Structures are given as structure tokens and as C-alpha cells.
Amino acid sequence: MKVTEHLERAKEPLISFELIPPKRGGDIKSLLSVIDDISKFKPPFIDITSHSAEVIYEETPKGIQKKIKRKRPGTLGICALIQNKYNIDAVPHILTKGFTREETEDFLIELSYLGIENVLAVRGDDNGYDKPVPAGRSANKYTSQLVSQIAAMNQGKYLEENLLDAKPSNFCVGVGGYPEKHFEAPNLNVDIRFAKEKIDAGADYIVTQMFFDNKVYFKYVELCRQEGINVPIIPGIKILTSKAHLASIPKNFYINIPDALADEVYSAKPENVMDIGVEWAAKQVEELFSKGVQSVHFYIMQNSLPVKKLMSRLKLSKVIE
């Protein structure tokens, strides 16, 4: 089922999750344990991030050598597992950065074979490596171009125009939104115009970057509506679990952590930080749902414990059983 259909049919609040694949050569058992845990809450869909190749420097007997690697492959396999073993809709992330349009089309065709009909189109992080585009191939530079490519496939238009058996794909397309603006945008209003370009290109819904102050989400939705963006805007929530997050989250995601939360975490014992983060996130979710928000998306990566604590605190498992 498409994400938008889940939202349209929901009679109770929805909770979805986002996971990250294990590192190359890592053990998938820990991720399977996480999926086992969160599947008990009956999420309508689970996102799996995607990662392009990046520059890695390794120490070898010949000295430090530069290598190009994908540190976290496996998105396709994990999505197939979620879709077919757990009967939960998988939402793989599709990147512009690091992939040609031809590679993107092949990946989307494979997803379609697996019965996966939801994708999240994103540009991808700048990892210091710009993959060369081979002669005769092309690449999407902006997310709106990637959305346009997927929308064209949904109309039966493929890069190779003379495909005799080509059938239209049937993807529901999500895109990212930034309540505190994307770090490259000069201001929030300009960033929202960029979001509008993605919607006009064919995107069906928005999932926001994480935030810790609901005011920025409600303001973002208001500005999006004023700009003519009328698709669902799903709030993204991250549960703060360590003191290190006070530095790493603002640095990596360009968002603010409210003074009240930061002060409480700074003064707490390390073993109490997760409970503080859970309580803060619980209050966020309670307010969001009380004001009519119908779905919340949790960035949990590979740790289900904070979500289990949160669901126990909210008793939401009873709501979504």
C-alpha cells in the first residue's frame, strides 16, 4: 500500500520508522532484532536509508591509501525482507548523488519487481566524492529532477524510449522537508520554494528533518500551505539518547536543540539522558497528535530501545494494535 493511502485510511495515529543498513561486512542480525522490535508496533511503513560510494582512507603496508567504497550497501535486500517477511511497506531512499539516471532506473525497476511501491527521493549527503558520469550516461543534480524521472516512469516513460514491454511504474514518492531550512538555503522561504518545485515535479508527501521544537514544524506547515503545498507533511522525530548528541546533531543536521532540553541533558548523569530524551519526545508526540497531526516518523537508525521506552510511556501500542 502507498504511504498516502495509509494516511488517507488511518483511523488512529500512525507511527513509522527509519533505519540505516549495517556497515559493509557487518552482521545483519542486530538490524533484524531492531525490525522484530518495531514491527510489534505495527508501523504502516519503514524507511531504509541509501548510501552512495565515498572516499575512505585506509592504512596499508604501503602506507595510507585512498579507496572508493560504499560503506553501507544493502538497501534493496533489507527492503525486500521488510516487505515480504514482515508484510510492512518498505520505503527505500533513492539518491541523486552518486548514481546515474540509468542506475536509478534499474534500481527502481528492481523495486517494482519486488512489489515495492514507495520511495523517498533525496539528494544525499556530501561525502567528499563526486562520482564521474560515464560517457553516454546522465545524472540528476537536484531532487526535483529525480522526482521528475520517477514521475515519468509512472507514466511509462523510460530512458530507453523503444522498450517494447515497458509498463508504467506505480511509485508513491516522498521527499524531505526542512522546518529549520536546509543548510544551503539562504532562508526558510526560499527553501520552501525548493520544496514546492519537488511537489510540482510529482512528489506525493513530505517527511521533515528531525526537530526538537514543535513550533518550527507548525510554522513550516503554515508556510508550505501558503506556498500552495497541500500534500501531507509528516513530522520527523529523533529521541536524544546521549550527551554527545548535543554536539553531533546540530553539527550534522543543522538544527537547534532547545535550551530547556540541552540544559537538562548537560546536568544529568549519562545513564539518565535517554529517559530525558524519551520524555521530551513523548511530549512532542502528544502535542502533535493533539493538534491533529496524523502520523509521526521516528529516526531510530539501529537502536529500538528508545522507541520501546517511548511507546511504553505513551501507551501508543494500544492505539495502533
How many CA atoms, within 13 angstroms, populate the side-chain half-sphere of residue 275?
A: 5
Separation between Cα atoms, residue 238 and residue 310, nearest integer Å = 11
- CA–CA gap between residue 226 and residue 149 (Å, rounded): 27
CB 47 within 8 A of CB 79: no
Contact assessment for residue 302 and residue 21, using Cβ atoms and an 8 Å cutoff: no
Residue with cell 560515464: 134
**Predicted local confidence at residue 97, as pLDDT:** 86
Sign of CA dihedral 45, 15, 204, 21: negative
Contact 279, 239 (CB under 8 A): no
C-alpha cell at 171: 511509485
| Residue 133, all three cell numbers | 558520469
pLDDT in the model for residue 162: 65
71, 30, 84, 124: CA torsion to nearest 10: -30
Supply φ then ψ for residue 174, to 5 degrees.
Answer: -105, 155
pLDDT at residue number 134 = 76
Domain spans of the chain? 3-239+295-302
Amino acid at 91: V
- Per-residue pLDDT of the chain in tens (321 residues, 90 and over written 9): 999 999 999 989 999 999 999 887 777 888 999 999 999 999 999 999 986 655 565 666 666 665 555 566 789 999 999 999 999 999 999 999 888 999 999 999 999 999 999 999 998 766 555 667 777 788 899 999 999 999 999 999 998 776 657 789 999 999 999 999 999 999 999 999 999 999 999 999 999 999 999 999 999 999 999 999 999 999 999 999 999 999 999 999 999 999 999 999 999 999 999 999 999 999 999 999 999 999 999 999 889 999 999 999 886 544 444
List phi, psi (to 5°) of 278: -65, -45
Reduced to 3 states, what is the DSSP secondary structure of residue 320? coil
* Cα–Cα–Cα angle for 218, 222, 225, rounded to 5 degrees: 140
3-239+295-302 carries CATH number 3.40.50.620: no
Which element (helix H / strand E) includes 234?
A: strand 233-237
Alpha-helical runs (H) found in the chain: 3-9, 29-39, 75-84, 101-113, 143-154, 188-201, 214-226, 245-253, 259-267, 273-290, 305-314, 316-319
Cα gap 308→17, rounded to integer Å: 12
Of the candidates 197, 194, 175, 196, which has an alpha carbon nearest to the alpha carbon of residue 185? 194
State the DSSP string of 191-210: HHHHHHHHHHHT--EEEEEE
Hey, what amino acid is at 239?
I
Taking only the tens place, the pLDDT of each residue in 305-317 is: 999 999 998 865 4
Q: Which three cell numbers stand for residue 290?
A: 493533539
Q: Is 271 helix (H, G, I), strand (E, B) or coil?
A: helix
